[in-house]
Structure 1
């Protein structure tokens, strides 16, 4: 096999022996990088970041007088919690949806968070 043949065979064997979650994470990570987003695992507190990933969960958190909508975005490398203050619902923000989010990263209770991020719903 030539230079490309060995690489193809390695990728094929990896796809056949990897579990679905691992393959999905690799796919999400590749798509995020292709769109110019940073990998969530590389983002640090205080940085202005753009991340792309799939929403794992979306929940209304009325912990105080102001309701907050929280969604966990996963890009295949790490999770980022998106928090919209004063929102009960945002059309299109639902589990399974892929979005691009941009904002200044913070850390709350050891988790990466974007407060009131700019976002774009993705078609795929």
Structure 2
């Protein structure tokens, strides 16, 4: 009998956890439902370690809304993982142009991409901004 209750408890916990992960309540910096849908498809692919497919979806999202800062930031991460450092740096720079204070780690990520590109002066500047930016 105890085993039966444990099984029910495990099933209940798992179903609650899966529901909470499947619902996205984050307020994105875009009003475009199409851009959000593409971004979330890209995020799902990225979570599955399918960076190439993730890049395609996220590229479409930034085409739909060029000011979608979360998409540009994630696109920088995806390109970095794909070792496409020029595109990674470009995506981070675009996100920074939209809002320099949105996410301070964007500067740190930009610095990493610049180091891979052997643009050390740019990396130093990005790290200085990272240290000076709140959050």
Structure 2 length as normaliser, TM-score?
A: 0.29
TM-score scaled by structure 1?
0.30
Choose 1 or 2 for highest CA Rg: 2
Q: 1 or 2, which has the higher helix percentage?
A: 2
Which structure carries more strand by proportion? 1
